[in-house]
Amino acid sequence: MKSIKFIAIILVLIWVSGFTECYKPVTNSGLPKDIKIVAVPTFQFEAKGLRYKVDSRFTEAVMKEIIKRGHGLKVQSGRGGADAVIEGNIRDFNFSGVLLDKDGRARVYEVTIVGAVTIRDLHANKVIYDNQNFVFRDSFEFSNDPRSFFNEEDPAVERMARAFAESVVSAMINGLGVKDRKTK
């Protein structure tokens, strides 16, 4: 009985002595306090070749993620009246077979998208965040049965757009990669 009380006291002391500081939730944003409205104009598609609505999918994903995790930030597509702007480009879009079946046909494909993102504080005319080499990859598999064929490229692009948006918004909200230089 004494050993149980002793162990309980030791556990309480350990808990009180510092383990309560191990986890601190993020309550503040890495953004300047005066940023309340963020503009997200449609991302530019610079990659060669045509891909259906890749630019708008990535733009929409970023807007949804800001609404979801932006701690009350308002989002709009135009710069007018905005406090900050997120500018993005899809610089490269690559779609290639990575695994062949026994007949030499590609069964598993990989989609790679390279993006560039700049977040600017429009009041201070500062670059808050800049990453010109966001790389996202996803793969998908085609079915052997032609009757059950479903093009998995679109869902793969949707997954990458969500992952891209999560990374951009996390960097913005948590203040990762904040720049202190003046821009023109």
Q: What is the pLDDT of residue 93?
A: 83
Q: What is the pLDDT of residue 11?
A: 66
Q: What is the pLDDT of residue 106?
A: 74
Lookup: tokens for 91: 């610089």
Coil/strand/helix, residue 184:
coil
Q: What is the pLDDT of residue 77?
A: 92
Lookup: tokens for 40: 């997200």
Contact partners, residue 27, CB within 8 Å, separation at least 6: none
Burial of 11 (0-12, 13-18, 19+ CB in 10 A): exposed
pLDDT tens, position by position, for the chain (184 residues)?
777 877 777 766 666 565 555 544 444 556 788 899 999 999 988 866 656 677 888 899 999 999 998 888 899 999 999 999 999 998 888 878 777 778 777 778 887 888 899 999 999 989 988 989 988 887 777 666 655 555 666 777 788 888 889 888 888 777 655 554 444 4
Q: What is the pLDDT of residue 83?
A: 94
Ordered by where they begin, the domains of the chain are 29-174 (3.30.160.150)
Q: Which residue has the tokens 């009246």?
A: 81
Q: What is the pLDDT of residue 18?
A: 58
What whole-number distance in Å separates Cα of residue 132 and Cα of residue 172?
A: 15
Query: Which residues does residue 126 pair with via DSSP β-bridges, in sequence order?
Result: 121, 182
Q: What is the pLDDT of residue 176?
A: 59
Strands (E), the chain: 37-39, 44-45, 74-76, 84-100, 106-121, 126-141
Whose CA is closest to 62, among 161, 135, 133, 155? 161
Interstrand relation of 74-76 and 84-100 (parallel, antiparallel or unpaired): unpaired
